[in-house]
Amino acid sequence: MTEARFVHIVDDVPELEGRSDGPVLMTALDGFLDAGNASALAIAHLTDVEPGRVVAVFEVDEFYDYRARRPALTFLEDHYADYEAPRLVVKLLEDKLGAPYLLLSGPEPDIRWEAFARAVRSVVEHFDVRLVVSLGSVPMAVPHTRPVQLTNHATSHRLLVQENVWKGEIRVPASAQALVELRLGEWGHDALGYVAHIPHYVAQFDYPQAALALLEGVEDVTGLQWDRTALKEAGEARQVEIATQIADSDDVRDVVTGLEQQYDAFHSQASNLLAEDEPLPSGEEIGAQFEQFLARLEEPED
């Protein structure tokens, strides 16, 4: 099988020709690694500001399991209409200063991850991409009242811009994005990524604060710049909503207070994830105490 079977370049992007350096390729795939819809919100924000144009199309049928994730289709009175086919595409966009960059988005492949990685490599090499940056997010035992933390990872230590909270070695479930980064490093291409830490009690809901943090991280490492006002305002509104819900429950406030003490103790001591006198609540305890809280968030507003 050749990479040409899996991805098609539909625009050679003359805007990139003659530049002293290649473009950045951002990647954000739907599905796994998107607690709080952080990367989805970030991508939606960028494409709302500047929709961009498609320059490469992946053969989604080669990667997508339609029975596991059935696309939406409209039935209108007596016929089917408006089928929303899944798409894996690369778009060309510009930041607020007019600097071009590429964006790979769409559903995470269900199968043929190695073929997908090779197809991404062909895009990277065709457009002479200088850096691939991936976005993701995971639920963590952190409070919503503190700044969103980012874990950064890269194919080379020289690409890292900050020290991570987590040290040592852990085993985590694989993702297509992670495999692409691993393979790109083996093939000699620079790639890095950010994973935002989402308070696990709101991980099912939109968390724009994390989307804002992810874009700030990308700005720091790439030099790209965007107007992030809308995300900031959405994040502030979300904070107010969460605070209102928490005010109704003493149990929930106690758990959040414990997470705050744990967070502050770690960042002041920089020695241990847990404060000595404040053990981390168990998953069962947190789940029970936040069950009603989450249910209230799902209720429609009056």
Q: List, for residues 61-108, the tens digit of each pLDDT value.
A: 999 999 999 999 999 999 999 999 999 999 999 999 999 999 999 999
CA-wise closest residue to 31 among 84, 85, 86: 86
What is the SS3 string spanning 94-111?
ECCCCCEEEEEEEECCCC
Give the single-character DSSP code of 283. Answer: H
Burial of 187 (0-12, 13-18, 19+ CB in 10 A): middle
Whether 291 shows a pLDDT value over 80: the answer reads: no
Backbone phi, psi, residue 281, to 5°: -60, 145
Amino acid 292 reads Q
| Residue for token pair 């509104």 | 237
Query: What residues pair up with 28 in beta bridges, in sequence order?
Result: 105
Q: What is the CA radius of gyration of the chain?
A: 21
Q: Which tokens sit at 24? A: 């950045």
What pLDDT score does 3 carry? 58
User: What pTM, to 2 d.p., does this model score?
Assistant: 0.86
Average pLDDT over residues 7-33: 90
Residue 85 neighbours by CB distance under 10 Å: 11
